[in-house]
């Protein structure tokens, strides 16, 4: 009847603020479904369906129309950036003013956006509303879930333009690119040393602070790096995951395996420029070079004597401490050096490895062989 027709057009009056560019279809009959029995439309009247998006306020319509026109009338006087909505402009201004109106009652941290504040609160509540359908792992942020899902899909959308290597996260790509650029943005305030990654800086700073947060549950020894703790724990577990393909010997460290392999290859890449002697390790070359330079950096605090090698200093210090850590299992005699124990054990084993080429006589000590050889040279 007339009542139904009047309400029908009243609907379009209320929602006359509509955007004709939107593709949403509004059917007024949906809004009066509860009154369909009471209100019947004019049989001769066509069913009005308009491809419009409706708004209750003219200001909302104007804001929406800027999506189509691209108009951004709200310009920031600080940086010149423009915005279509005044609300977005106000949020942006907090970047320049430093305003952070959302405060966390748990830790006091402040935020400029409410959604950032809500995300932060999950740190305290432990809420992780985003679940991985593949493995069930949950995340506090949807962005973290998306990154995680790439583990299952194998997707690596971030590519290095220099070498073509691909990454699952943009942050990983940025870290990688520093290999090519040489950029080291993280600086140590104590010594000025620079690092490509913040984690490496944090590890380095423990050199200055002396903090060693990683403890061995077996012996209580502490370390400044977790990786160093893992290497140390192999002393207790006996794990030696690195195997020599030539002789089958195993090592707890990859670096030790590489050094060992030079026994088979014969490669000695470190050369002394003074005498031409070659070494398998750079550290051995440095020690050797002290023969030429006369440098003796290791000093005895008891008598002031200096040494080329730290190991030689430790051996020497046993003269002052009286420590004799090497025991003979046959007679219990103790020695300050393992080499002296080895020589002593020949008394028990009867081993005489030094032979006289003139008469065939054997000796336990090389010094005794040399003394003997004087008989033949007279």
pLDDT digits (tens, 9 = 90+) for 26-80: 444 444 444 444 444 444 444 444 445 666 777 777 777 777 877 888 899 889 8
CA 158 to chain centre: 18
Higher pLDDT, 204 or 30: 204
Residue 209 φ then ψ, to 5°: -80, -25
| pTM of the model as a whole | 0.44
How many percent of the chain have pLDDT more than 70?
A: 85
Distance (Å, whole) CA 186 – CA 199: 9
Distance (Å, whole) CA 47 – CA 28: 9
CA 25 to chain centre: 51
Residue 88 to residues 44, 53, 85, Cα–Cα distance (Å): 47, 21, 5
Higher pLDDT, 35 or 311: 311
Ordered by start, the domain boundaries in the chain are: 2-56, 326-377
Whether the CB-CB separation of 245 and 234 falls below 8 Å is answered with no
Residue 303 pLDDT > 50, yes or no?
A: yes
Q: What tens digit of pLDDT does each residue of 164-187 get?
A: 999 999 999 999 999 999 999 999
Higher pLDDT, 126 or 163: 163
What pLDDT does 113 receive? 85
Whether the CB-CB separation of 66 and 31 falls below 8 Å is answered with no
Residue 369 φ then ψ, to 5°: -65, -45
Whether the CB-CB separation of 177 and 160 falls below 8 Å is answered with yes
Instruction: Please provide the DSSP assignment of 107-135 as one string.
Output: T--EESSHHHHHHHHHHHH----EE-TTT
Place of tokens 């950032």: 116
Residue 204 pLDDT > 50, yes or no?
A: yes
Interval 104-110 mean pLDDT: 90
Residues sharing a CB contact under 8 Å with residue 341, sequence separation 6 or more, in sequence order:
326, 327, 328, 335
What pLDDT does 93 receive? 85
Residue 273 to residues 173, 284, 290, 293, 297, Cα–Cα distance (Å): 41, 14, 12, 12, 21
Whether the CB-CB separation of 76 and 84 falls below 8 Å is answered with no
Instruction: Please provide the DSSP assignment of 135-203 as one string.
Output: T--EESSHHHHHHHHHHHH----EE-TTT--EESSHHHHHHHHHHHH----EE-TTT--EESSHHHHHH
What pLDDT does 53 receive? 60
What pLDDT does 176 receive? 95
Residue 90 pLDDT > 90, yes or no?
A: no
Select the highest-mean-pLDDT range: 41-50, 109-118, 213-222: 213-222
> Is the sign of the CA dihedral 157, 162, 165, 170 positive or negative?
negative
Q: What tens digit of pLDDT does each residue of 128-170 get?
A: 999 999 999 999 889 899 999 999 999 999 999 999 999 999 9
Say which CATH class 326-377 falls into: alpha beta
Distance (Å, whole) CA 113 – CA 92: 10
Q: Which of 9-13, 212-216, 292-296, 342-346 has the lowest mean pLDDT?
A: 9-13
Assign 327 to helix, strand or coil. strand
Distance (Å, whole) CA 251 – CA 239: 8
What pLDDT does 24 receive? 43
Q: Which of 34-38, 66-70, 238-242, 265-269 has the lowest mean pLDDT?
A: 34-38
Distance (Å, whole) CA 123 – CA 370: 76
Residues sharing a CB contact under 8 Å with residue 65, sequence separation 6 or more, in sequence order:
19, 21
Whether the CB-CB separation of 196 and 183 falls below 8 Å is answered with yes
What pLDDT does 130 receive? 92
| CA angle 306–312–315, rounded 5-degree value | 110
Distance (Å, whole) CA 129 – CA 142: 8
How many percent of the chain have pLDDT more than 90?
A: 58
Q: Alpha helix locations (H) across the chain?
A: 2-14, 58-69, 86-97, 114-125, 142-153, 170-181, 198-209, 226-237, 254-265, 282-293, 310-321, 338-349, 366-377
For the chain, the residue count is 378
Higher pLDDT, 287 or 123: 287
């Amino acid at each position: 009847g007339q009542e139904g027709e009047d309400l029908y057009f009243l609907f379009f009056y209320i929602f006359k603020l509509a955007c004709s560019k939107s593709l949403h279809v509004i059917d007024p009959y949906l809004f009066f479904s509860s009154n369909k029995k009471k209100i019947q439309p004019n049989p001769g009247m066509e069913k009005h369906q308009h491809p419009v998006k409706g708004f209750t306020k003219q200001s909302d319509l104007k804001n929406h129309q800027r999506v189509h026109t691209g108009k951004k009338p709200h310009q920031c006087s600080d940086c010149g950036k423009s915005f279509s909505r005044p609300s977005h402009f106000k949020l942006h201004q907090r970047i320049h003013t430093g305003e952070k109106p959302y405060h966390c009652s748990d830790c006091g941290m402040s935020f400029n956006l409410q959604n950032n504040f809500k995300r932060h609160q999950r740190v305290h509540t432990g809420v992780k509303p985003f679940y991985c359908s593949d493995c069930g792992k949950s995340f506090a942020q949807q962005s973290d879930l998306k990154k995680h899902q790439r583990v299952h899909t194998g997707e690596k959308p971030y590519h290095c333009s220099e070498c073509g290597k691909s990454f699952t996260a943009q942050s990983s790509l940025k870290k990688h690119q520093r290999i090519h650029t040489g950029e080291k943005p993280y600086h140590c305030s104590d010594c000025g040393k620079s690092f490509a990654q913040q984690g490496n800086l944090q590890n380095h700073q423990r050199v200055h602070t002396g903090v060693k947060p990683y403890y061995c549950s077996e012996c209580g020894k502490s370390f400044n790096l977790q990786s160093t703790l893992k290497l140390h724990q192999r002393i207790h577990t006996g794990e030696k995951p690195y195997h020599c393909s030539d002789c089958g010997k195993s090592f707890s460290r990859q670096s030790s395996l590489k050094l060992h392999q030079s026994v088979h290859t014969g490669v000695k890449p470190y050369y002394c420029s003074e005498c031409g002697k070659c070494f398998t390790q750079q550290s051995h070359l440095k020690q050797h070079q002290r023969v030429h330079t006369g440098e003796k950096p290791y000093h005895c605090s008891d008598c002031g004597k200096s040494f080329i090698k730290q190991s030689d200093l430790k051996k020497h210090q046993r003269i002052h401490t009286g420590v004799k850590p090497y025991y003979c299992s046959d007679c219990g005699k103790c020695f300050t050096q393992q080499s002296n124990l080895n020589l002593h054990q020949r008394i028990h084993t009867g081993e005489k490895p030094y032979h006289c080429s003139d008469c065939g006589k054997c000796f336990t000590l090389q010094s005794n062989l040399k003394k003997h050889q004087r008989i033949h040279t007279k």
